[in-house]
Each structure stands twice: as structure tokens, then as C-alpha cells.
Amino acid sequence: LILSLEEKNLCLRTLEEKNLGLNTEVSLLRSALQQTQQLSSNCTGQLQFFNTQIPTLQDAVVQMETTQAAREKQLLQELEESRAGERCLKDSLHALQAEVSQLRLCLQRSDDKALALAIQCHTSELELRKTQTQGDKLRALSKELQIELKDHEQGTSPLPPIASSCLASNDV
């Protein structure tokens, strides 16, 4: 089929509009990619911070448990020696137990936060890969359309099949 000049110009304009649309979409995807990379970087930093806190808190729990065990032994010995100091010694014991409980709770919260951040970081990485794949596909399609458009403008090739399908539908 020989297309009239008007039909060729219409096809050319359609391809140029689609190319402009694809370039806009690539730009939006690049922006989304940068945001996702920044979020991933932030998540990684927070995860590293919490991972550095966990050993410190674990050491504190171990130290407090050791301190508690020694203190309990001492309190039992003092209880045997003097019933008069019983109430004061029990109060000290309860304070240490509450402190250990608080440290365990803090450690559990840190573990939970670290796990949540690891999950969030993994999700961000998956989204980043998906966005990169979409960008690669769009760049390849844009390059293909540009080559076909250039060939068509130079009159070295008939209207490409992809251009015909672009004219027939707005899928791209």
C-alpha cells in the first residue's frame, strides 16, 4: 500500500507523540527510581543503626542478669544473717528485676524494628528492580521507535509494523 503524504504525516505525528509520552514516562520512572534508592539507603542506615544497638543491649542484658544473679545470692545470705534488712534487700532485688525486664523489652523492640526495617528494605529493593526493568523496557522501545521513525522520515523504509500497531491502539 502506498500511503498519501497526509497519512504519512499523521503517522509521523502519532509516532512523535508516542515517543514524547514514552520519554515522559522514562523521566517519571527515573525519578521514582531515585526516590526508591534514597528510601533504600535510609532503610539501610536505620537497619545498620539498630544492628549496632542489638549487641550493646544484649551485653547489657547479660551484664544485668549476671549482676542480678550475684545480687540475689548476696541478698539471700544477708537475709539469713539479718531479718531486719529483709524488706530493703527485697526492694533492691525487685528494682534489678524490673530493670532487666525493661532491657529485655527494649531488646525485643529493637529486634522487631530491625526485622521490620529488613522487610521494608527488601521490599524497596524488589520495587527498585521492578522499576529498573520497566525503565529498561521503555528505553529499548523508545530507541526502536526512534530508529523506525528516522528510517521512515528518510523514506528508506515503509511504515514500520510497530508504527501501524501504534496507530491502531494506544497500548504503549
Q: Residue 30 is part of a domain; what is its CATH number?
A: 1.10.287.1490
- pLDDT computed for residue 161 by the predictor: 57
Domain coverage including residue 45: 5-165
- pLDDT computed for residue 171 by the predictor: 46
For residue 110, being part of any structural domain is answered with yes
For residue 161, being part of any structural domain is answered with yes
- pLDDT computed for residue 31 by the predictor: 95
pLDDT per residue, tens digit, the chain (172 aa), is: 565 888 888 888 999 999 999 999 999 999 999 999 999 999 898 989 888 898 998 999 999 999 999 998 898 888 788 876 666 767 888 988 988 899 899 889 999 999 999 999 999 999 999 999 999 999 999 999 999 999 888 877 665 555 555 444 444 4
Give the DSSP H/E element, type plus range, for residue 3: none
- Is 90 in a helix, a strand, or coil? helix
Given a contact cutoff of 8 angstroms between Cβ atoms, the answer to whether 57 and 107 are in contact is yes
How far, CA to CA in Å, does 153 sit from each of 12, 30, 53, 86? 8, 29, 63, 99
d(CA 5, CA 155): 11
Whole-prediction pTM: 0.34
CB neighbours of residue 150 within 10 Å: 11
| Count of domains for the chain | 1
- pLDDT computed for residue 100 by the predictor: 87
For residue 170, being part of any structural domain is answered with no
For residue 79, being part of any structural domain is answered with yes
How far, CA to CA in Å, does 64 sit from each of 14, 79, 88, 115, 159? 73, 21, 19, 25, 79
DSSP tag of 158: -
For residue 41, being part of any structural domain is answered with yes
- pLDDT computed for residue 140 by the predictor: 95
- pLDDT computed for residue 27 by the predictor: 95
d(CA 130, CA 132): 5
Given a contact cutoff of 8 angstroms between Cβ atoms, the answer to whether 68 and 97 are in contact is yes
